[in-house]
């Protein structure tokens, strides 16, 4: 009987049988359970770019699971590298990869567990940005079947989880493992915080009880049953050397999947939700851009950059658009690449969104595979290229793109579903918003914020009634290609936790007026910033009411930061009490937070102010002296200093369910 050992370096097997017998067992398990393993890898990669690369990566991960532990370390039992994917032939557009037959040998369960663990380890590495050579598919794009609306909802929910959380969800639902088994497998696979990953999965299952049925039954999540389409079906204008043309034609005829040799995005730790590495510029990437119909956004429930029509007076200038397309396909020295954005071109033809002149500069905006490319030609500056990630964009985060900046401000191109545009000074919530002209979607200059933060201009946009009634939202230009979506979560009340909402109401504007200056510290690639009022506290000695806020910044790559601030009464500057980098604190997956700081009253007395989210019932820790456990029962504390006096604050909060939280940092 084989013995399974889970270690931090991989999943290993010991057995008395010979090398060939052990290899035969692994191969039998891989064939018999191929569909389940591929589905599991595909789930872990949710949110990692387009479905084509996700399908290829899932198959590569499963096949490479025979080659030993991920990371290149030698397995305890040497085994041969996996064979390449066998050629598949589409029939009526459908490609079916067979399951194989049952393994049927003694000790099969242990071998299955070991292979499954290797698949999870490799999938986590790929989802964190570690490279995997993809099978190369010439001239074809492979897609899983589009599922119903609930399948899309579940897929989007999966994409918001960490890679380990998605692995936990897949292990629970597709592999049928118990919580204990999931925790053990994740720990052996090197997943960070297995308990937290399992908690993420449970939150998803609570919010989407249909997830088990959808993940196991919908073709949306089955990378073994895919549809094949030509990569450049819409507009085929190949301008490449004859050898590449012949190779593309031969590939279309043979439809062979060959093992790739790419190394991905590097060996270091990558973004939380990295896109797969793009292919080198091939025939499809060099094809002419495609354009969406002018009214495409009116006839779809998915509002993102793919339904933007082509605009600008130069959109028919084929030479200009061709230069922009080639700059993206071949690369441009000095290109600005937002964090987590693959620099290479899309595998298929890009989509043209804009081509025109803005303040004397020529600008072309292209989109493809969850990325935007802005190509510019200045009279004195020469060509330039800026790239940004846009996967999982929606009606708000796909509502505007910065085309050009001058001393007068930024010129933005607005989405076709934006009905009205205004600017407002975030620092002056009592001032009404001012109309912003935007002929053909191109705005007048929007001034940048003052250096001393005396003013902070933001966009206030309102969606067309075709999209949503009375839907207004705020976007802030923080220097990137895409403006940042600002949201607000009001103070807790009785009942379920309150979700973030648009920051256009009176309370939201008052809160953002106090915290607007923190926007200057937002990281490049930031997608959204939420101001969560998690507690309100009357200050000692009748000093007035204060507000506790957690500022949550989320990036396009899935990572993010959090910071707690105390907003004193009146117009006093906020007090930054703690911050956490690369954390999910104050997000929907970690809704428990604790804030603490020293505050001095007019009398000169120093008070330790402590406030937690509504599930915090007691606190303990140190603040220059030991603080014994003190009950809060959901109310803020104001404790006069004693003993040595004020010192560094580090507190732990006990939750009403027995769990813990702590001050950030």
Q: What is the DSSP string of 378-419?
A: ETTTEEEEEEEE-TT--TTTTSEEEEEEETTEEEEEEPTTEE
Q: How far apart are CA 259 and CA 646, in angstroms?
A: 62
pLDDT at 273 exceeding the cut of 60: no
Average pLDDT over residues 324-333: 90
Is position 314 within any domain? yes
Non-local CB neighbours of 183 within 8 Å, separated by 6+ positions: 194, 195, 198
pLDDT at 287 exceeding the cut of 90: no
Is position 619 within any domain? yes
3-state helix, strand, coil in the chain (%, to 5): 25, 30, 45
Q: How far apart are CA 110 and CA 116, in angstroms?
A: 10
Structure tokens at 468: 């949503």
Q: Are 524 and 544 in contact (CB under 8 A)?
A: no
Q: Are 223 and 134 in contact (CB under 8 A)?
A: no
Is position 585 within any domain? yes
Average pLDDT over residues 437-465: 93
DSSP 8-state assignment for residue 219: G
Average pLDDT over residues 280-307: 78
Closest CA to 347 of 263, 231, 223: 231
Q: Are 26 and 79 in contact (CB under 8 A)?
A: yes
Number of domains in the chain: 3
DSSP 8-state assignment for residue 334: T
Give the predicted TM-score (pTM) of the model: 0.63
Q: Are 338 and 523 in contact (CB under 8 A)?
A: no
Kindly state whether residues 570 and 661 are assigned to the same domain: yes
Q: Is the dihedral of CA 178, 181, 187, 189 positive or negative?
A: negative
| Domain boundary residue, one of 221, 244, 278 | 221
pLDDT tens, residue by residue, 519-557: 988 888 999 999 999 999 999 999 999 999 999 999 998
Q: List b or e across 94-114, with b for residues whose CB sees 16 or more CB atoms inside 10 angstroms.
A: ebebeeeeebeeebbebbbbb
Is position 193 within any domain? yes
Q: Which residue has the higher pLDDT, 88 or 419?
A: 419
Kindly state whether residues 662 and 576 are assigned to the same domain: yes
Identify which of 2-11, 48-57, 146-155, 384-393 has the greatest average pLDDT. 384-393
pLDDT tens, residue by residue, 590-640: 999 999 999 999 999 999 999 999 999 999 999 988 889 999 887 899 999
| Domain boundary residue, one of 393, 425, 444 | 393
DSSP-assigned beta bridge partners for residue 599: 607
Q: How far apart are CA 152 and CA 148, in angstroms?
A: 7
484-489/526-539 β-pairing? parallel
Identify which of 208-217, 322-331, 355-364 has the greatest average pLDDT. 355-364
| Domain boundary residue, one of 376, 393, 410 | 393
Average pLDDT over residues 338-364: 92
- Three-state SS sequence of 510-537: HHHHHHHHHHHHCCCCEEEEEEEEEEEE
pLDDT tens, residue by residue, 505-519: 999 999 999 999 999
Structure tokens at 330: 């071949």
pLDDT of residue 345: 86
Q: Is the dihedral of CA 366, 371, 373, 374 positive or negative?
A: positive
Q: Are 456 and 426 in contact (CB under 8 A)?
A: yes
Is position 476 within any domain? no
Closest CA to 130 of 338, 343, 345, 274: 274
484-489/544-555 β-pairing? unpaired
* Chain position carrying tokens 């510029």: 281
Is position 442 within any domain? no
Q: Is 193 left (phi over 0), alpha (psi -120 to 50) or beta?
A: left
For every residue of 221-290, DSSP letters joined together read G-TTEEEEEETT-S-----S-HHHHHHHHHHHHH--EE-----TT-SS---SSPPPPPPPP-TTTTSPPB
Is position 285 within any domain? no
Full residue range of the structural domain in which residue 584 is found: 544-551+559-665
* Chain position carrying tokens 């008070």: 607
Is position 361 within any domain? yes
Non-local CB neighbours of 296 within 8 Å, separated by 6+ positions: 307, 309
**Cα distances (Å, whole numbers) of residue 227 to 92, 141, 150, 249, 346:** 9, 8, 20, 19, 19
């Amino acid at each position: 009987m084989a013995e399974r050992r889970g270690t931090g370096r991989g999943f290993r097997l010991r057995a008395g049988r010979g090398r060939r017998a052990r290899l035969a067992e692994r191969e039998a398990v891989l064939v018999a359970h191929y569909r389940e393993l591929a589905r599991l890898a595909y789930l872990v990669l949710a949110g990692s770019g387009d479905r084509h690369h996700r399908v290829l990566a899932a198959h590569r991960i499963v096949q490479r699971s025979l080659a030993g532990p991920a990371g290149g370390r030698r397995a305890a039992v040497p085994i041969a590298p996996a064979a390449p994917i066998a050629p598949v032939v589409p029939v009526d557009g459908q490609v079916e990869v067979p399951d194989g037959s049952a393994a049927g040998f003694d000790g099969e369960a242990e071998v299955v567990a070991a292979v499954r663990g290797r698949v999870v380890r490799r999938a986590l590495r790929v989802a964190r940005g570690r490279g995997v050579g993809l099978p190369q598919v010439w001239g074809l794009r492979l897609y899983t079947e589009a599922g119903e609306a609930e399948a899309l909802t579940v897929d989007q929910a999966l994409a918001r989880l960490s890679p380990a959380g998605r692995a936990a969800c897949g292990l629970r639902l597709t592999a049928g493992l118990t919580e204990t088994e999931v925790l053990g497998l994740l720990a052996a696979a090197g997943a960070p915080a297995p308990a937290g990953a399992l908690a993420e999965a449970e939150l998803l299952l609570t919010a989407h009880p249909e997830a088990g049925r959808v993940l196991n039954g919908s073709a949306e999540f089955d990378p073994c049953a895919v549809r094949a389409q030509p990569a450049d079906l819409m507009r085929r204008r190949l301008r490449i050397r004859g050898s590449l043309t012949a190779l593309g034609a031969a590939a279309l005829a043979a439809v062979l999947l060959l093992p790739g040799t790419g190394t991905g995005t590097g060996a270091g730790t990558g973004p939380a939700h990295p896109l797969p590495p793009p292919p080198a510029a091939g025939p499809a990437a060099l094809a002419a851009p495609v354009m969406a119909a002018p009214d495409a956004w009116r006839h779809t429930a998915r509002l993102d950059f793919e339904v933007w029509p082509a605009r600008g007076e130069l959109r028919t200038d084929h030479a200009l658009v061709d230069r922009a397309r080639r700059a993206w396909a071949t690369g441009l020295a000095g290109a600005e690449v937002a964090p987590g954005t693959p620099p290479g071109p899309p595998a298929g033809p890009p989509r043209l969104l804009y081509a025109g002149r803005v303040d004397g500069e020529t600008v072309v905006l292209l989109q493809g595979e969850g990325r935007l490319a802005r190509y510019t030609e200045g009279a004195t500056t020469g060509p330039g290229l800026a790239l940004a990630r846009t996967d999982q964009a929606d009606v708000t985060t796909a509502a505007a793109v910065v085309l050009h900046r001058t001393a007068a401000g930024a010129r933005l191109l607005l989405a076709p579903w934006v009905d009205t545009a205004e600017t407002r000074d975030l620092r002056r919530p009592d001032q009404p918003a001012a109309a912003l002209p935007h002929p053909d979607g191109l705005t007048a200059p929007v001034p940048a914020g003052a250096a001393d933060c005396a003013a902070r201009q933001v966009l206030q946009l309102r969606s067309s009634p075709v999209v949503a009634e009375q839907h207004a939202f705020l976007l802030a230009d923080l220097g990137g290609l895409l403006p940042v979506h600002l949201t607000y979560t009001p103070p807790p009340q009785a009942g379920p936790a309150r979700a973030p909402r648009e920051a256009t109401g009176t309370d939201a504007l008052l809160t953002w007026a106090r915290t607007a200056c923190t926007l200057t510290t937002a990281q490049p690639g930031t997608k959204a910033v939420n101001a969560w009022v998690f507690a309100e506290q009357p200050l000692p000695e009748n000093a007035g009411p204060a507000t506790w806020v957690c500022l949550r910044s989320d990036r396009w790559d899935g990572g993010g930061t959090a910071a707690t601030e105390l907003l004193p009464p009146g117009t006093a500057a906020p007090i930054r009490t703690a911050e956490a980098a690369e954390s999910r604190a104050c997000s929907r997956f970690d809704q428990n937070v604790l804030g603490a700081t020293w505050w001095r009253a007019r009398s000169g007395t120093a008070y330790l102010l402590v406030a937690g989210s509504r599930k915090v019932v007691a606190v303990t820790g140190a603040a220059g002296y030991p603080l014994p456990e003190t009950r809060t029962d959901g109310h803020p504390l104001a404790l006069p200093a004693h003993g040595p006096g004020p010192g560094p604050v580090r507190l732990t909060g006990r939750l009403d369910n027995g769990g813990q939280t702590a001050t950030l940092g």
